[in-house]
Amino acid sequence: MTVTLDPVLTARLADVAVNVGLNLQPGQDLVLTAPVEALPLVREIAASAYRAGAGVVTPILSDDAVARARFQNAQDESFDKAADWMYRGMAEAFGNGAARMAVAGADPMALAKEDPAKVARANKANSIAYKPALEKISNFHINWNIVAWPTAGWARQVFPDLPEDEAIVKLADAIFTASRVRVDDPVAAWAEHNAALAARSKWLNAERFDALHFTGPGTDLVVGLADGHEWHGGASTAQNGVTCNPNIPTEEVFTTPHAHRVNGTVRATKPLSYNGALIEEIEMRFVDGRAVEARSTSGETVLQSMIDSDEGARRLGEVALVPHRSPISDTGLLFYNTLFDENAACHIAMGQCYSKCFLDGASLTAEQVAAQGGNASMIHVDWMIGGPETDIDGVRADGSRVPVFRKGAWAQSV
């Protein structure tokens, strides 16, 4: 990176990530992954973490050019391998109580020109190797957080017409705004935001809808909710007892759909950036929870291999409600990054569900989660289905209906 970003806002973003995002505890270790360009933020995160009493902070940096060097030069056998030892080490660290932070922001198109079959094989090998560590995250054993930093490749994608330095500064501006660090006391601002999201979750949990019925252009979809589902939003408490904000930024309230009770058609309202490809105008048809048809106008090969990852990849693991108006969507930008784009629109996710999105979720076995309608998969991929014309009805078990969203906004005040 050739441009230096606002050092005060960078330090505040690091402090929000450590103290709100992770709520890192004295003596807790931290495993941190980041693109190499995020080094200025990584250094501030390390400083903030040690001020908060961290044991050992271990950063693991990645580089797009190194990743491309593999696809362009490695022998064929390479693409079925992963750095198993590293993922085992991460699983061991999490098992011993380390917190996990990921800095998002790598170039979404870094691998766009590489062979999609090789990319899919390498991703599959990584997913298998990472699974034991990922389970500690998806089962919420430990406090974890994702925060963002603008890399040149990402900024180029968001602002293709601007010179690179200018694009990076503009993307940083949007990240600082969306991450709510432009106030004197970002920690207090986050407490207020968390309280608002908690009030929405509480209302939905009291309603106990049987299903949500989404309608909008190209969409007429009934998403059955899992038995004993529980809505979450904003801060939540990990099994280690630490209350954290896994996503910075976050605008969503979300829960677990029923893996066998999703029916109808749905059209994406934003492109999905996945495995280095841009998947545009996704349309899917669901029958009894299973995506039986999937189309897109670009990236369809990647889309098909994504939903063929395993049996659970064709079923839903998450449904999330996000108003059309929020600090993120008000930027008017398409970020080509799930952390931001999913928090600008209602979305669903193919694949793995979050066991915490069940009443008493921490005590349920994998078999109980499945029996209540929770989905299992190696993948969890969010895509956006909400927009300014989205209406949602909550459908109760007796068939009566309650307006939940009208024209992309909450229909009730709570």
Residues near Zn ion (CB under 5 A) = 252, 254, 318, 320, 349, 382
Beta carbon of residue 206, minimum distance to Zn ion (angstroms, whole number): 21
- Strands (E) across 92-177 are located at 99-104, 144-148
Nearer to Zn ion, 37 or 251 (CB): 251
Q: Which residues pair with residue 229 across a beta bridge?
A: 358
Burial of 233 (0-12, 13-18, 19+ CB in 10 A): buried
- Strands (E) across 256-408 are located at 257-267, 272-274, 277-279, 283-287, 290-295, 316-321, 347-351, 380-384, 391-395, 401-406
Beta carbon of residue 133, minimum distance to Zn ion (angstroms, whole number): 18
CB 223 within 8 A of CB 211: yes
Beta carbon of residue 380, minimum distance to Zn ion (angstroms, whole number): 6
| Closest to 55 (Cα-Cα) out of 95, 92, 24, 15 | 24
Amino acid in position 122: A
Strands laid side by side in the 316-321 sheet: 232-233, 253-255, 316-321, 347-351, 380-384
Beta carbon of residue 165, minimum distance to Zn ion (angstroms, whole number): 32
Beta carbon of residue 408, minimum distance to Zn ion (angstroms, whole number): 17
Nearer to Zn ion, 28 or 337 (CB): 337
CB 52 within 8 A of CB 95: no
Nearer to Zn ion, 44 or 318 (CB): 318
Beta carbon of residue 192, minimum distance to Zn ion (angstroms, whole number): 21
Nearer to Zn ion, 93 or 319 (CB): 319
Cα–Cα distance measured from residue 363 to residue 353, given in angstroms and rounded to the nearest whole number: 15
CB 275 within 8 A of CB 300: no
Q: What DSSP line would sit under 382-396, residue for residue?
A: EEE---TT-EEEEE-
Cα–Cα distance measured from residue 145 to residue 138, given in angstroms and rounded to the nearest whole number: 12
Beta carbon of residue 352, minimum distance to Zn ion (angstroms, whole number): 9
Nearer to Zn ion, 28 or 269 (CB): 269
Cα–Cα distance measured from residue 318 to residue 175, given in angstroms and rounded to the nearest whole number: 25
Beta carbon of residue 54, minimum distance to Zn ion (angstroms, whole number): 27
Nearer to Zn ion, 37 or 382 (CB): 382
Nearer to Zn ion, 48 or 219 (CB): 219
Beta carbon of residue 227, minimum distance to Zn ion (angstroms, whole number): 20
Strands 236-237 and 243-244: antiparallel
Nearer to Zn ion, 67 or 221 (CB): 221
Amino acid in position 3: V
Cα–chain center distance at 186: 22
Token pair for 141:
């054993």
Nearer to Zn ion, 156 or 232 (CB): 232
